[in-house]
Structure 1
Amino acid sequence: MKLVKLNNELEIPVVGSGTNTYGKEDNAFKGELRGDTQEIDWAIENGYRHFDSAQVYANEEVVGKGLNQSDLKREDYFITTKLNTNKGFAGHDWITAEIEKSLEKLQTDYIDLFLIHFPWDNSDEIVEVWRVLEEYYNRGVFKSIGVSNFEEKHLDPILQNGTVKPDVNQIESHVGKWNDALIDYNKSNDIATVAWSPLAGIDEDAKQVLQEIGDRYGKTYAQVVLRYQIERDVIVIPKSHNKEHQAQSLDIFDFELTADDRQRIADL
């Protein structure tokens, strides 16, 4: 597995597993928890060591249980989770309470990467939340900190007022919405980009182009997309409820796209 070094020197696997529907009935985002860890177990067996979770997914305990019952040592895997700011800010005590809940559900005493999940229209409050994350970072409870779904206008106040630079900005980036300008902004500030749902947006026309490229390398259209993303220095967190497809998403390190391939994909 290729590792990417964040701006604080922490290394993160360039391919991770999304988890937002794992352990849920009918594989539905709002489904009730089934009580098993099947998809996490498969991911571990396939070789995943980077797991992307969030409070809003309402299944952090599935990730925690699956990892805790595995043969892996804590230092062998990388956990991301995110503060649920979908409704904005609810005070300092709320932040610390939610962080403690995540630690308990994930069955760990530290989190490798902790993100603010969504921006909202109050830069002072965003900076206040960021300072709490900085406290946990400085205590070693968070090994790295960052944001998710932030645009330049949301990141600028943190960069101007924070004492710890965000390590990561997790954003939408996929066929039809590569988000190049924001990725360039992240790079210019030494902030790593993580793409959520990196296999979204692929219609039949795009699939035909991608599979045509993939056929030359013996790869699927999905593997071509993931390869394109990591070649542009984007960390990816694909998700699948199919064990074979999970494995395929990791099998992207034995080929390299040509300049022509990359241009055709960029144009989709």
Structure 2
Amino acid sequence: MTENAVPLVTLNNGVEIPQLGFGVFKVDPDKTNRIVRDALDVGYRHLDTAKIYHNEEGVGHAVHESGIARDELFITTKLWNDDQTNAPEAFQKSLARLRQDYVDLYLIHWPTPERDTYIEAWRALEGILESGKAKAIGVSNFTVDHLDRLISETGIVPAVNQVELHVDFQQAELRSYAAEKGIAIEAWGPLGQGKINESEELASIAAAHGKSVPQTILRWHLDVGNIVIPKSNNKERMAENFDILDFSLSASEIATIATLDQGEQGRNGSNPLEVN
């Protein structure tokens, strides 16, 4: 690995994913092409989108225009809740919108427990994986109970679980379970969806490294093993978020950040038990 290169995480099927990526949740579809091109210019090579974001087309257009070799990119998209009983067709439509022959990672977006269709969806994703059109498959917003059921009924362990995770909501139990099962944890809303922790502890750690608090939080994610996908519409902020590869936190600093966890009270997004 070259100096300051984005670290790679090896998933449980051997696929390598860049630990620092770029998310496009709530990115205006009309602006996605420009914003993703900016991210690629900064150096991001891992892009995370979803059908429900309505910007797969913009991501695909930006990738096509960039001239970057496909094997240098890692592209993730997600199966929306309404499509869980028709995953193969939904997946093909996502590929078409992305202008891709394959994606690197395909995720079930939510477990939607009231629908009770995520096992059926997962079996369809297994077929997509076998086809080679997705290099890895996983889930998003799954709890320990959802993962337990998925694994026990199908025998196939997801490569990734993408969940809300930030310093106020550290998901220690879920992270521990995932580590035991060999599931990589990917953090969405890694900076708290704009609700940056303003604690003196974080400010002090940031100052010690000559970095901003957001940079320190993103570095914490890398140091504890999370894959992380910050987003921004601003190229300067994208660059700031990317400029976290030249330092690391000490064990004592990581221990201090662990004390900032607010448990369920720290959650900013939707509860997976309530999304259908």
Moved more, 194-203 or 128-137: 194-203
Moved more, 210-219 or 68-77: 210-219
Say if 2:89 is the partner of 1:97.
yes
1:204 Cα shift?
7.0
Corresponding position of 1:6? 11
TM-score, scaled to structure 1: 0.90
1:119 Cα shift?
0.5
Q: Contact between 1:51 and 1:80, CA under 8 Å: does it hold in 2?
A: yes
Matches within 5 A, 1:1-268: 1-22=6-27, 24=28, 33-34=29-30, 37-85=33-81, 87=82, 89=84, 91=85, 94-121=86-113, 125-200=117-192, 206-268=198-260
CA distance in 2, matches of 1:195, 1:213: 21
1:264 Cα shift?
2.0
Cα RMSD over matched residues? 1.8
TM-score, scaled to structure 2: 0.87
Give CA deviations for 1:47-96 in whole Å, capped at 9, x if unaligned: 000001011111111111100111201111000110001x574x3xx222
CA distance in 2, matches of 1:4, 1:72: 21
Where relative contact order (Cα < 8 A, 6+ residues apart) is larger, the structure is 2
1:259 Cα shift?
2.4
Q: Contact between 1:3 and 1:11, CA under 8 Å: does it hold in 2?
A: yes
Percent sequence identity is 40
CA distance in 1, matches of 2:197, 2:188: 22
Change (3 A) 1:260 1:154: same
1:163 Cα shift?
4.5
Structure 2 SS opposite 1:157: helix
Aligned partner of 1:40: which letter? V
Structure 1 SS opposite 2:198: helix
Aligned partner of 2:54: which letter? A
- Extract unaligned runs of 5+ from structure 1: 25-32
Aligned partner of 2:87: which letter? I
CA distance in 2, matches of 1:187, 1:132: 25
